[in-house]
């Protein structure tokens, strides 16, 4: 059975970097097969993983009805096209969802996409999903299962508020993750005991990924996570967290 690891949080908190580290962790531990789904419209996981993306699910969806051959069902045509946009890399496969829908009705296409993506996921042991703050693909039912939810924030008030809103949205969608973990990224300190106690009413656990200025310099150069040495403080820090949380 597939194990879904989902990342969410407001923009700029570093969730894509942590998602990329998770892919590196699973690859390093040889826990595949692994499917990576970049579900953020402003996708950056391909660069972080060192993969060149030629096409997205969004482009397939946009062209689905225009280019479908006569005599072929929408299901058959979309399944062929989706399999074409799955990028194969060493230790994982990558599927980029792309931008939200344009004008027009995509209900029929989305229903088929939902089924196809769920079928594809069954062929992988782990699925790592980098989501946008609005959780669009989860709210539309395209991704309907979460085993481990990492909600990423910083110490900023807006980041924490976004984390709490995402937590409430998950409840409204009647999705119950096996684990809900709050990650405080780029942390300089830990919460006071009273602050942490209040937040633990909403999350199963809280972990801190401490600020690493050396890693920041590397990321500014556009280095992908597989090109790093492996002794970076932030990688060692998050590796320990993954050991504690992933089943």
Q: What is the mean pLDDT for each group of 10 consecutive residues in the chain (247 residues)?
A: 91 92 96 90 88 86 78 84 89 85 56 77 92 66 81 94 90 89 95 94 96 77 83 93 95
Structural domain count, the chain: 1
Exposed / middle / buried, residue 225 (Cβ in 10 Å: 0-12, 13-18, 19+): buried
Q: Which residues are CB-contacts of 169 (< 8 A; sequence separation ≥ 6)?
A: 135, 139
Look up the domain containing 184 and give its range.
Answer: 3-245
DSSP 8-class letter at 50: T
**Can you give the length of the chain in residues?**
247
The per-residue pLDDT for 71 is 85
70-76 contact pairs (CB < 8 A, 24+): 74/108, 74/109, 74/112, 75/112, 75/115, 75/116
What is the pLDDT, as a whole number, of residue 186? 93
- Model pLDDT, residue 147: 94
Report the C-alpha gap between 144 and 118 in whole angstroms.
Answer: 9
With contact defined as beta carbons under 8 Å apart, do 126 and 22 qualify? no
pTM of the model: 0.90
List of residues 6+ apart from 215 with CB closer than 8 A: 232, 233, 234, 235
Question: Distance of CA 34 to CAs 37, 90, 107, 141, Å?
Answer: 10, 10, 29, 21
Residue 57: which CATH number?
A: 3.40.50.300
pLDDT at position 139 is 58
Residue 158 pLDDT:
92
pLDDT score for 83:
86
Q: In whole angstroms, give the CA distance from residue 29 to residue 185.
A: 23
Instruction: Tell me how many degrees the CA angle 13-55-18 measures, rounded to the nearest 5.
Output: 20
| Cβ-Cβ contacts under 8 Å for 211 (sequence gap 6 or more) | 186, 187, 188
Using the 8-state DSSP alphabet, how is residue 97 labeled?
-
Q: What pLDDT, on the 0 to 100 scale, is given for residue 102? A: 54
């Amino acid at each position: 059975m597939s194990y879904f690891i989902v990342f969410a949080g407001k923009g700029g908190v570093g969730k894509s970097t942590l998602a990329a580290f998770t892919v590196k962790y699973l690859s390093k531990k040889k826990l595949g097969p692994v499917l990576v789904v970049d579900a953020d419209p402003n996708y950056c996981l391909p660069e972080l993983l060192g993969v060149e993306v030629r096409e997205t699910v969004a482009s397939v969806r946009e062209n689905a009805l225009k280019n479908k051959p006569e005599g072929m069902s929408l299901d058959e045509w979309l399944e062929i096209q989706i399999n074409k946009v799955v990028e194969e890399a060493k230790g994982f496969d990558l599927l980029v969802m792309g931008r939200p829908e344009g004008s027009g009705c995509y209900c029929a296409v989305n229903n088929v996409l939902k089924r196809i993506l769920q079928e594809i996921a069954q062929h992988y042991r782990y699925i790592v999903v980098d989501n946008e703050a609005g959780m669009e693909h989860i709210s539309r039912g395209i991704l309907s299962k979460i085993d481990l939810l990492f909600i990423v924030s910083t110490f900023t008030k807006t980041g924490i508020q976004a984390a709490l809103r995402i937590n409430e949205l998950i409840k409204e969608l009647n999705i119950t993750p096996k684990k809900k973990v709050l990650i405080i990224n780029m942390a300089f300190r830990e919460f006071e005991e009273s602050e942490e106690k209040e937040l633990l009413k909403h999350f199963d656990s809280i972990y801190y990924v401490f600020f690493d200025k050396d890693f920041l310099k590397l990321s500014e150069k556009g280095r992908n996570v597989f090109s790093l040495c492996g002794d970076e403080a932030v990688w060692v820090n998050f590796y320990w967290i993954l050991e504690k949380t992933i089943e």
